[in-house]
Structure 1
């Protein structure tokens, strides 16, 4: 009886943990077709490429900055240059942007949740 109750409690806690995950966490298809994984917790997230030419490379870090909004730094894997970055989540779409010169020049792309 105790064993069944322990298993039920463990299963409930595992499912509750998944429900508390931030919606930005998970695997995303980038505009170039590579897969990027966003992981973390407590409001801080790391972006790592999982496929493509730069697989395994960390390309950014973000912190929650409001409802479905994130800010931090984004690195262009082609040039290794790091930019001030922002992300905005809307359903299964994540709009990523990186800017230089205080936001005068920005580049953005939209990623899709896998």
Structure 2
């Protein structure tokens, strides 16, 4: 087998063994202080992960307009292994960006964060797709 063929086989084997990033997809947030929730679409942003608000819902569960649509809610997020992630999360109801800790467990994501020593539980998000 020539060097080119051997290299092609190695690339194909490596691609097949690569695992998809489980945080990618769309997540429904827990209700915030105002009872609102949203859909966050998580994508690769270079070597890190980020999540953008794509829909907002009021306390009654009906879609509402929000100035935060298109805003990065999750940013600078990295997979630490074992379902743990760190990065930043923006909280629209408080207008603050927190240093985040995310814990993935199947189709649920436990979100928490701290800023200036003040920590907040962001609840549990549910994967929708």
Calculate the TM-score normalised by the size of structure 2. 0.65
By percentage of residues, which structure has more helix? 1
Residue in structure 1 matched with residue 10 of structure 2 by the alignment: none
Contact map agreement 1:43 1:64 (CA 8 A) in 2: no
5 Å matches for 1:1-114?
Answer: 20-32=19-31, 33-40=37-44, 44-52=48-56, 53=66, 54-61=68-75, 62-102=77-117, 105-114=119-128
CA distance in 1, matches of 2:96, 2:46: 27
CA distance in 2, matches of 1:100, 1:57: 19
RMSD, matched Cα? 2.5
SS at match of 1:36: strand
Unaligned runs of 5+ in 1: 1-15
Q: Which has the larger radius of gyration?
A: 2
SS at match of 2:41: strand
Over 6 Å off, 4+ runs: none
Unaligned runs of 5+ in 2: 1-15, 32-36, 57-65
